[in-house]
Amino acid sequence: MVALTAAACGHGAAITKRKAEPPYAGPLDAGVVKTSMGSLRGMAAADYRVFQGIPYAAAPVGPLRWQLPRPAPKWPGILDATKPGPQCMQDTGPDPRVGKPTSENCLTLNVWTPPRGQHGEKRPVMVWIHGGGFVNGSGDIYHSRSLVVKGHIVVVTINYRLGALGFLAHPSLGPPGDVGNYGLADQQAALRWVRDNISAFGGDPFKVTIAGESAGGMSVCDHLVAPGSVGLFRAAIIQSAPCQAQADLATGQRRSVDYAAQAGCRNPAITAVCLRALPAARLDRPPWYYLIGDSDGLSGPVTGATVLPDGPFPAIATGRAARVPVLVGVNHDEFTMFAAFRHRKLGRGVGLAEYSHVLDEIFGGDGAPIMAHYPPDHFGGDVSLAYSAAITDGVFACTTDRLADSLSRNAPVYAYEFDDPHAPAPEPLRDAPFPVGASHSLELAYLFNVGGLAPFDAAQQVLSDQMISYWTRFVSTGTPKAPGLPDWPAQDGSPDHKSWMSLRPSESQLIADFDEEHQCPFWASLKGRS
């Protein structure tokens, strides 16, 4: 299922297909909407409208390749906004998604909105940044019907440049320090478009929440500390985001130089000209800046550059982040999905003989104590489950716990753990040699209308309704307090107020043992992780 697997952090993410639920229920005319760039017409159902493929920036092609986004040109007449734009260039691997064209000209967004209000009232807005390791995915796979209809908000989903075209940090591409991060700058351009145009769709430009999962959540972390994002949102949602997993500028530049050489651009005097002359199809493979696990990687923003002068963790820890309410969380079994993809790709899981070595590579030489703390014997003898638990805790859960602690010193933070042990999974995970549980990205189906999964049972449908209520109330008010649901208090940075909302079918409740469950004191004891 593309909506879930494209949210995963890496090159194993795009191996499945799904048949999506139609984004609208009929060819009803949504009416003409006037924006600053021109008029457009979308489609409507009885209880919502959708406008797709709206350009928010100029096509980043030719001399604009590896430049900051420029304003979109105005168009004559009425733009047909009934179909999504192409996905940004990406590596679709050996199993490309039929019917999903890619293009370098891809900077478009989609607006899902309730019907026109009786009295012109403006709705709160959620801007959704898709995941996919900064190497794949697109905004149009996140059908937002339930959020709009049940939550009475406006949802904007966006495309942004990916992989090499979005994040190559070759020093020849700009002045010193002013390279890379083009995809992050695209997101900022989309947020400026929302500020300037969303009122025409019934949205309130003063009530914008940025939200994302995986790489999208990492992007949200970056916007909390990026100078160019100041004032473009009033709240943030961070889902399953390893916000520490970002390369610095030096690493990005070094790997970008290697990437350019492999592409045939080796002469430093003309590297930029050479790269800009390459066909886009030659640039669909990304540069890898950060590995999560032994076979899953990220491209993405680099810290220490003009667009992102500092990484989110040091900036947040020193109080240099936007002081806005944040809803942040993880899934109970984040890494089982990646372990299952590894098994599918290689035909085997992690072996006992390589377990410590793999952990050494991921955690900088701490493999032996981590293996001792996560012995396969504690997981029924299954090395893959032990390996998954270690990375779930060390990369996702405990870093998110640290993030929540740091953010809560200056603003309200609402922390959650998605923990449906039987969450519907896409087809490639159904025959995994171990249960994947509440793995990475599986919570997305509880918020968005996506296909390719077994239907929810009654308890899961209740959980979906609860999550939509929590999320949309947060977008509307800055707090996830929803009528008839368990109270969800904010953390305040003290050890006695570290409750997390455990999101489980029919029994969502506050828990106080998240850090113990995920072995966070152990991870804090390792060198360089306190």
> What would the pLDDT profile of 224-277 be if each residue is shown by its tens digit?
999 999 999 999 999 999 999 999 999 999 999 999 999 999 998 999 999 999
Residues 32, 392: Cα–Cα separation, whole Å: 47
User: Tell me: the pLDDT tens digits for 315-335?
Assistant: 999 999 999 999 999 999 999
What is the phi-psi region of residue 219: left when phi exceeds 0, alpha when psi lies from -120 to 50, beta otherwise? alpha
Confirm whether 222 is domain-assigned.
yes
Looking only at Cα atoms, what is the longest distance across the chain?
Answer: 67
Q: Are strands 509-511 and 500-503 parallel, antiparallel or unpaired?
A: antiparallel
In a domain, 423, yes or no: no
pLDDT at 27: 56
How many Å apart are CA 498 and CA 16, to the nearest integer? 38
Name the residue among 378, 296, 381, 397 with its Cα closest to residue 344.
296
Say whether 3 sits in a helix, a strand or coil: helix
Question: Does residue 256 fall inside a structural domain?
Answer: yes
Domain that holds residue 96: 52-324
Residue 123 lies in a domain: yes
Q: How far is CA 72 from the centre of its chain?
A: 24
- Joined together, the tokens standing for residue 411 give 């603003």
Number of domains making up the chain: 1
Joined together, the tokens standing for residue 223 give: 């916007």
144 neighbors 112 (Cβ within 8 angstroms): yes
Reported as half-sphere exposure (CB side, CA atoms, 13 A), residue 510 has a value of 12
- The beta strand positions in 202-315, using DSSP E, are 203-213, 235-239, 247-248, 290-291, 297-298, 302-303
**Which residue has 């984040």 as its token pair?**
334
3-state DSSP helix/strand/coil % of the chain, to nearest 5? 35, 20, 45
Mean confidence (pLDDT) of the chain: 90
Q: For every one of its 530 residues, what pLDDT tens digit does the chain have, with 9 covering 90 and above? A: 344 555 655 544 433 333 444 554 455 677 899 999 999 999 999 899 999 999 999 999 999 999 999 999 999 999 999 999 999 999 866 544 445 789 999 999 999 999 986 567 899 999 999 999 999 999 999 999 999 999 999 999 999 999 999 999 999 999 999 999 999 999 999 999 999 999 999 999 999 999 999 999 999 999 999 999 999 999 999 999 999 999 999 999 999 999 999 999 999 899 999 999 999 999 999 999 987 766 668 899 999 999 999 999 999 999 999 999 999 999 999 999 999 988 877 667 788 989 999 999 889 889 999 999 999 999 999 999 999 999 999 999 999 999 999 999 999 999 999 999 999 988 777 778 888 999 999 999 999 998 777 889 999 999 999 999 999 999 999 999 999 999 999 997 666 557 999 999 988 999 999 999 999 999 999 965 54
pLDDT of residue 455: 87
> The CATH number of the domain where 135 resides is what?
3.40.50.1820
Distance CA(15)–CA(381), nearest Å, equals: 28
Distance CA 24, CA 49 (A): 8
Q: Is residue 391 part of a domain?
A: no
Question: Does residue 275 lie in a domain region?
Answer: yes
Judge if pTM exceeds 0.75.
yes
- pLDDT, residue 430, reads 78
Q: What is the pLDDT of residue 345?
A: 74
pLDDT at 341 (0 to 100): 85
Residues 111/154, Cβ–Cβ less than 8 Å: yes
Q: At 524, which amino acid appears? A: A
| CA dist., res. 46 & res. 246, Å (int) | 43
| Helices and strands (H and E) in the chain: how many | 17, 19
Tell the burial category of 279 from Cβ atoms under 10 Å away from its Cβ (0-12, 13-18, 19+). exposed
Residue 343 domain flag: no
- Report yes or no on 202 lying in a domain: yes
